[in-house]
Structure 1
Amino acid sequence: MYIRTTEVRGDPAKIDDGLTLVREELFPAVSAMDGCVGMSMLYDRQTGRCVTTTAWSSEDAMQASAAAVRPLRDRAERTLGATSGRYVHQWEVAVMHRDHATPDGACARLTWLSGDPSKVDDTIDMYRMVILPQIQGLSGFCSASLMVDRETGRVVGTAAFNSREDIEASREISAGIRERVVRELGATVDDVEEMEIGFAHLHVPEMA
């Protein structure tokens, strides 16, 4: 399974317009493309930053969709009043685990890491055997995933929780987990973001 993420910073006042566009127009259009298995949108109302994700059954399907997706991405940026250039990245889905569907008001923590490309498999093993068991025991846990870029060594882990309160309560434990990853794998934490889940229709199968 493969994922394409698009990161933009828009006008916070236009977040709801962007969500409406995703729900009513972009999701139906992308879902009709061969190999698409879902879409999601996360956002930060304070900064206007949005991360939109599409999931694909194969790398070939993801690559074949590039031209058709581009005008949809342009429209989304205009609707959101994007104030900076987009950042588009493609990932392999290494781990996906769901406890239950995300309810209204759910939030997610995204942890972006950079490391040695030769240690990507070690990172996946650590996520499965050490990190995921700790995360899924936290109050309000909904789901968790790990996406990797084997060429660059970049990875992004996402953990979703029922509410803002649940994600805030998990910060200390999550920080301890990050410290262990950095120490044992020699990785660098590029960024940690907590975002609201505005649209969640990624139908990636269980891969834990």
Structure 2
Amino acid sequence: MVYARVNTIFGRRDTIAAGVARVEGTDRAAVEASRGNRGLTTLMDGDAGVIVALSYWMDPLHSSAPNLTRVRERIAAAARGALVAETYAVAWQEPGPAPAWPGAAVRIDRLQTDPVAEVAGHDLLRAHVRQEAGGDSGFCGAEVMVDRGNGAALLITTWTAGAAQRADAVVAQLCDGAAGAGITLRRTETYVLVRGCAPIRAPR
């Protein structure tokens, strides 16, 4: 099992560049060199002044090491923003035909799942991703992260900049198709990819 730490910094439009520079400087190297780390992806919403840093871990406890706490504090200070941290288990990742270059469009759809049908619901959602988006030349990939304690989940899809407009309709179809399995859409967030990481695969 691979886990994801989702760090969201709610900064300001005039300080987001400083926050991103902090992430992509020595702080990225510190995260990627940490025990158990499996990669780091950085997203931003320049209009809202929001940065999202997604770090992946073999053990969620590794993401709470003191040196990483200091890294997060430095990023929040550079962006002059408040930090909200969440931890999820990565349920699955599905690659797409297009590469995810910096500047790609990223959607985070926050879902609520029925705990009784959680596994079946996520499997159905993955099947719909393959069916509705898998052949789209602008689709870069998708993943689902789950909080099994409260049924919250994130559907994260990445699209080329040119495909961003049609992503709305495709993801709406995905969520409609999964509604029968107890999955409901709570809200959608949109970002630009600053820098990604390779697809995460747990060692066998």
Could you tell me how far 1:31 is from its partner in structure 2? 1.2
**1:47 partnered with 2:45:** no
Q: Which moved more, 1:132-141 or 1:103-112?
A: 132-141
Distance 1:171 1:139, change over 3 A: farther
Q: Which residue pairs with 1:199 in the alignment?
A: 195
- Match of residue 168, structure 1, among 148, 153, 165: 165
Matched-pair contact (CA < 8 Å) for 1:109–1:167: no
- Aligned length in residues: 200
Could you tell me how far 1:156 is from its partner in structure 2? 0.5
Q: Which residue pairs with 1:4 in the alignment?
A: 5
Matched-pair contact (CA < 8 Å) for 1:109–1:195: yes
Could you tell me how far 1:70 is from its partner in structure 2? 1.1
| Aligned-residue RMSD, C-alpha | 1.9
**1:188 partnered with 2:184:** yes
Cα shift readout 1:144-180 (whole Å, capped 9, x = no counterpart): 11111112111101111111x3111221222122223
Q: Which residue pairs with 1:133 in the alignment?
A: 131
Q: Which residue pairs with 1:158 in the alignment?
A: 156
Could you tell me how far 1:202 is from its partner in structure 2? 4.8
Could you tell me how far 1:102 is from its partner in structure 2? 1.2
Could you tell me how far 1:130 is from its partner in structure 2? 2.2
Matched-pair contact (CA < 8 Å) for 1:55–1:202: no
| Long gaps (5+) in structure 2 | none
Could you tell me how far 1:203 is from its partner in structure 2? 4.7
Residue 99 of structure 2 aligns to a residue in which SS?
coil
Could you tell me how far 1:181 is from its partner in structure 2? 2.2
| TM-score, L = length of structure 2 | 0.89
**1:76 partnered with 2:75:** yes
Matched-pair contact (CA < 8 Å) for 2:125–2:175: no
Distance 1:110 1:132, change over 3 A: farther
Matched-pair contact (CA < 8 Å) for 1:131–1:177: yes
| TM-score, L = length of structure 1 | 0.88
Matched-pair contact (CA < 8 Å) for 2:90–2:144: yes
| Long gaps (5+) in structure 1 | none
Q: Which residue pairs with 1:13 in the alignment?
A: 14
Distance 1:5 1:193, change over 3 A: same
**Distance in 1 between residues matched to 2:18 and 2:197, nearest whole Å:** 18
- Match of residue 94, structure 1, among 91, 96, 116: 91
Q: Percent identity?
A: 22
Matched-pair contact (CA < 8 Å) for 2:57–2:63: no
Distance 1:205 1:133, change over 3 A: farther
